[in-house]
Structure 1
Amino acid sequence: MRIMRVGPVGRERPVRYDDGHYLDLSPLTADIDATFLAGDGLRRAREATDLPEIDVTGQRIGPPVARPGAILCVGQNYAAHAAESGSVPPELPIVFYKAPNTVVGPYDDVLIPRGSTKTDWEVELAVVIGRRARYLSSPDEALAHVAGYVLSNDVSERDFQLTVSGGQWSKGKSCETFQPLGPWLVTTDEVPDPQALRLRSWVNGEPRQDSTTKDMIFDVAYLVWHLSQYTVLDPGDVINTGTPQGVALSGRFPYLSAGDVMEVEIDGLGRQRSTVRSA
């Protein structure tokens, strides 16, 4: 099942997408949020019948999950990306937080911050939590706590992240609009193996990243289990699982400038297209 949110910022309508048909979920829920996910909302949305069909032509596509309680991110989770960043692969997951108010839709503009010279793209598989995960016993339990998966672009400002960071990365990750999500929340039954997905990115139509999630150092199940040992993961929380090689930080490509167009894609999760503007 694919769930999305359609409409102006702050007034998005929940929608179920079925083979070209857009079905209004408003009779079931006001939004796709923590309350919906914790209340068995995905099952109710799947089983609902007689939902009104709506026309989304010309409407904005919002992020498929309303503002999450937390966005947890995993750094350098692909060995080749760690190498292009000048680092050895980590022995344990590198974890940082991203401000929830960074979330925008898959086709919304991304703003280069004031003073930025090194704004970068990062295609990532994002995990949306569906059941509270607290001190899970093993990675074997982890995927039962996942509602689904979302295409993510973990936009970053590398100078803010690494030079003026003060030792942590969130300054370079939490600028406004730095978290495009969507277009869909795809439920776990449609993604039987999250470690077998192809990820790609382009800037102005030129290829940048091309890899698969099988190259993750720490897989999705391990990450959910690991994070549950240090924090409580609540329904609606989002985990960015890392990006593969091919970003501007590598030195092989220029950083983003106003007018550039970023596109990111993951098999089965859709494609985004974001135009870069100046803040």
Structure 2
Amino acid sequence: MKLLRYGFAGQEKPGMLDSEGNIRDLSGVFEDISGAVLGDDRLEALRALDPDKLPLVSGNSRIGPCVGHVGKFVCIGLNYADHAAESGMKLPEEPIVFFKATSAICGPNDAVEIPRTSVKTDWEVELGVVIGKTAKYVSEEDALNHVAGYCVVNDLSERDFQMHRSGQWVKGKSADTFGPIGPWLVTRDEVPDPQNLAMWLEVNGHRYQDGSTRTMHFSVATVISHLSQFMSLHPGDIIATGTPPGVGMGQSPATYLKPGDVMELGVEGLGRQRLVTVAG
């Protein structure tokens, strides 16, 4: 099942993708796609609906972030061995954890703003995990039962802010529009193995990232279990699980985004994003 949110920014309505790729309106069923409707019981009730009996959304509506009212946007750093190597950093003994401000979240085809003083805005395609059931002190064996579904995340980063402006990575990760998510939330029953998904990213038609979740250092289950030892994960929280090699910082010479660039990216089975950069 593919869930999405459509409409003007800040006024998104809930929707479902039918078997023909059409958007069906869910606003008569519930108010929004957020933590309150991501538990197994609510998702099972949604699966029982006949999409053909839901109102068809006509026209080319904007696709918004696939989850609304996100409580936490948690990210994992250096989680792919080959990406750590291109960054000149050692693989961590435990997951590196940082946060993006939820105000960075935007839709999968929205304009991405390059911050006014940016000199090193970079891209990162990632597998996003959407929590569906509160996770606190969960085991790796039980961790995936707390997942509602998965989505595409672009963990945009300003490397100069991140590395050289003192403090935590959050400075380089949280600019407005630095967190495109979607186009849709794919429920976990349609993703039997999150550790076997191809992922890619292109800038202006050139493929920079071409990887797979197979090369994750810490698996999705390990990440969820680890995080749950330090904080409760709540329905609607999003985890960005790290990026494969091919980021701009790792190119020779390093290559960064400028206004007018077009990013296209996707994760197998989870859809794709198309993002044009603009000056902030």
TM-score range, shorter chain: over 0.9
Tell whether 2:44 aligns with 1:43: yes
- The offset of 1:39, in angstroms, is 7.9
C-alpha distance in 2, partners of 1:164/1:40?
45
TM-score calculated relative to the size of structure 2: 0.96
SS in 2 for 1:73: strand
Which residue of structure 1 aligns with residue 29 of structure 2?
28
2-side partners of 1:165 and 1:207: how far apart?
32
Q: Does 1:266 align with 2:267?
A: yes
Per the alignment, in what secondary structure is the counterpart of residue 221 of structure 2?
helix
Shift of 1:243: 0.3
Supply the AA of the counterpart residue of 2:232: V
Q: Is the 1:16–1:45 Cα contact (8 Å) retained in structure 2?
A: no
The Cα RMSD (Å) is 1.2
Identity %: 52
Q: Equivalent residues in 2 for 1:230-249 (5 A)?
A: 230-249=230-249
After superposition, residues 184-199 of structure 1 pair within 5 angstroms as 184-199=184-199
Are the aligned partners of 1:3 and 1:16 in contact in 2 as well (CA < 8 Å)?
A: yes
C-alpha distance in structure 1 between counterparts of 2:72 and 2:244, whole Å:
23
Structure 1 residue runs of 5 or longer lacking an equivalent are: none
- 1:160 paired with 2:166, answer no
Task: Specify the SS of the correspondent of 1:80.
Answer: helix
Cα shift at 1:56? 4.1
Q: 1:92 is matched by which residue type in structure 2?
A: E
Preserved CA contact (<8 Å) 1:139 1:224: yes
Is 1:74 paired with 2:70? Answer: no
Alignment of 1:158-237 (within 5 A): 158-166=159-167, 168-237=168-237
Instruction: Quote the residue 1:146 is aligned against.
Output: 147
Q: Which moved more, 1:204-213 or 1:21-30?
A: 21-30
1-side partners of 2:266 and 2:106: how far apart? Answer: 16
Q: Displacement of 1:57 after TM fit?
A: 2.4
Give 1:249 shift. 1.0
State whether residues 2 and 17 of structure 1, in contact with CA within 8 Å, keep that contact through their aligned partners in structure 2: yes
SS of the aligned residue for 2:17 comes to strand
Unaligned runs of 5+ in 2: none
Partners of 1:125 and 1:150 within 8 A in 2: yes
Q: Shift of residue 58 of structure 1?
A: 1.8
Closer, same or farther: CA 131–85 of 1 in aligned 2, 3 Å: same
Equivalent pair of 1:67/1:101 in contact (CA under 8 Å): no
Q: Structure 1: how far apart are the matches of 2:244 and 2:54?
A: 40
Q: Which amino acid aligns with 2:48?
A: E
In 1, the alpha carbon distance for the partners of 2:85 and 2:58 equals 43
- Offset of 1:51 from its aligned partner? 3.9
- Per the alignment, residue 251 of structure 1 pairs with 251
Return the alpha-carbon distance in structure 1 between the equivalents of residues 215 and 249 of structure 2: 19
Contact 1:79 1:216 in 2 (8 A): yes
- Tell me how far 1:67 sits from its aligned partner: 3.0
SS at 2:266 equivalent: strand
Alpha-carbon distance in 2 for matches of 1:248, 1:231: 32
